[in-house]
Amino acid sequence: MTPAARIGLFMLMGMIILGVFIIKIEDIPVGERGDRTMVTARFPSVAGLDRKAAVRIAGVRVGKVESISLDGAEALIELSLDPNVRLHEGAAAQVTSLGMLGDKYIEILPGDPSLPLLPVGTELGGATAPSFDDVLRVATEIGADVKEVTEALRGSIGGRQGEVAIEEIVQNIRDLTGSLKILIAENQANVNQTTANFAEFSQTLRDELPRITDKMNVLADQLNDVVGENRDDLQTSMSNISELTDRLQVSAENLNSITGKIDSGEGSIGKLVNDDTTVNNLNDTLVAIEDGVETLNETMGRYRRYQLEIALRGEALTASSKSRMAFGFDLWTTKKRFFRLEGVDTPYGRTKTTTEFVTTVLPDGTEHSFLQTTLKTTDKIGINAQVGYRMFPNTTLRAGLIESTGGIGVDHRIKLGKQPLVLVFEAYDFARPDDESAHLLFEGRYFVSPHIFLTAGWDDPLVSQRSSFLIGGGITWNDEDVKYSLGLAGGALN
């Protein structure tokens, strides 16, 4: 295969991979997903939710978040749903997450299928599920309440003050019995009258008892007839009552056992009520949990400050059959500083100078020595390892290794409509053995979308043998896009 064919095949494979990345990262709908349904939803808060987050129904992914905007004091979200999704009256949306620390996504409740479909343009009402901070706040409030209860119990029945309170209760009981004794003595006549009334009632009961007995016999006969007719149901009911009584007895015994253990200081609750050390340990544990959560929040905050941008680009040199491919990433540690690491397929390879003494024997037998310099060019992958700093809002300065040699670069961003144009200048390889001129590069990168750009420029203009115009393109995506792509891959595997 000729070099031109190999380069063409390599470029074709690169463009195919680039197209697959474009379809996956941009989530371009193809096939049955071609006609997306756009729905808007309004939320009081969407903290933690990002663009391209998943939209699910019953846990199944059915779309994504297209955009998030602020409408007054509320968040307005535009959702892109698969064409087979049907929303009925009563449909709603809510922000939730995968697990306690998982990614946030939109869960849609599609409504009752028996109700009519929602008309086009209907805005869904949204709600936000309780967050981890809400759970932590409730746990802290519960801990404070438990602390107050235990302190109140300890203050009420603990120490000398508790002994005094118990002595007062005993004395009050004594006073109450003495008062009852005096009350009975003062109302002896009433008591005698009550006794006389009871005697009269007994006499009346004796006179009326035979008649009452006859009626009870009649009632008993009627009950016998009823019981005979419903004996099976009655036995079942009595069996159920007996079983219920046994269960109540077991529950009462378990309750007595639990209260006895608590009173003797056994178990966590018993120690909590009777032991000051347990209360102090519980308070220390709550404080430690609070400190741990604050440390976790600080760590996650530092992590979120780092931004990762990954790029893949390819350029063809029009004056030759050579090309340059690069793949790597920029790690932004602050809003102004970043570190770049890329692997570059250098179009002309690396030239290495070798100097050595060579000795030859002349025909007359004498030896002749001379210094021989050899230039050797090898194809290899170069390294771009640079430190970048944003000097001005639209201008960035880079310095470090460019194609494995020292160099500097300047990037200047110009706003053209909705997408930017980035002007790139690089100077490197200042000590090339075959030429005294440095390697210069002038290039413009126009972003046709937030992730795709086209390039055109002039490479190595100071060396006529290698001076060439270049054209190409590339794709770039950040860590949010990578996370979204991994989510798509995980969903496809599932």
- Mean pLDDT, residues 259-279: 65
Query: Residue 317 burial (CB < 10 Å; 0-12/13-18/19+)?
Result: buried
Q: Identify the residue with better confidence: 427 or 231.
A: 427
Q: 282 by DSSP, 3-state: which? A: helix
Q: 388 by DSSP, 3-state: which? A: strand
pTM for this prediction: 0.42
Cβ count near 163 (within 10 Å): 11
Question: Parallel, antiparallel, or unpaired: how do β-strands 468-478 and 307-317 relate?
Answer: antiparallel
Q: Which residue has the tokens 């371009």?
A: 28
Residue 426 near residue 440, CB atoms below 8 Å: yes
Alpha helices in 158-187 (DSSP H): 159-186
Q: Identify the residue with better confidence: 174 or 279.
A: 174
Identify which of 292, 387, 400 has the alpha carbon closest to the alpha carbon of residue 332. 387
Calculate the alpha carbon distances from 397 to 45, 337, 430, 437 in Å: 39, 10, 18, 22
Residue 425's pLDDT band (boundaries 50, 70, 90)? very high
Give me the residue spans of the domains in the chain.
Answer: 34-129, 141-276, 306-493
428-478 confidence digits (pLDDT tens): 988 776 666 888 999 999 999 888 999 999 998 988 888 899 999 999 988
Residue 262: per-residue pLDDT: 67
Residue 184's pLDDT band (boundaries 50, 70, 90)? confident
- Mean pLDDT, residues 39-50: 86
Asked whether the predicted pLDDT for residue 296 surpasses 70, the reply is: no
Residue 77 near residue 104, CB atoms below 8 Å: no
Residue 114 near residue 146, CB atoms below 8 Å: no
Q: Which residue has the tokens 């922000």?
A: 95
Residue 147: per-residue pLDDT: 80
Phi, psi of 7 (to 5 degrees): -65, -40
Q: 177 by DSSP, 3-state: which? A: helix
Asked whether the predicted pLDDT for residue 38 surpasses 90, the reply is: no
Residue 312: per-residue pLDDT: 92
Identify which of 479, 476, 443 has the alpha carbon closest to the alpha carbon of residue 316. 443
Q: Identify any residues that bridge with 420 across adjacent strands, giving them in sequence order.
A: 415
- Mean pLDDT, residues 485-490: 56
Residue 22 near residue 475, CB atoms below 8 Å: yes
Q: 144 by DSSP, 3-state: which? A: helix
- Mean pLDDT, residues 328-336: 90
- Mean pLDDT, residues 155-177: 76
Counting other chains too, the contacts that 286-292 makes at CB distance below 8 Å and 24 or more residues apart are 286/140, 286/143, 289/139, 290/140
Rounded to whole angstroms, how far apart are CA atoms 323 and 403? 14
Q: 59 by DSSP, 3-state: which? A: coil
Which pair of structure tokens corresponds to residue 235?
């036995």
Asked whether the predicted pLDDT for residue 69 surpasses 60, the reply is: yes
**What's the CATH class of domain 34-129?**
mainly beta
Contact partners, residue 246, CB within 8 Å, separation at least 6:
none
Residue 121: per-residue pLDDT: 75
Residue 404's pLDDT band (boundaries 50, 70, 90)? confident
Residue 117: per-residue pLDDT: 87
Counting residues of the chain whose pLDDT is more than 70, the rounded percentage is 77
Residue 453: per-residue pLDDT: 93
Does 306-493 carry CATH code 2.40.160?
Answer: yes
Residue 88 near residue 118, CB atoms below 8 Å: yes
5-28 confidence digits (pLDDT tens): 777 777 888 788 877 666 666 565
78-108 confidence digits (pLDDT tens): 988 888 888 888 899 988 887 666 788 889 9
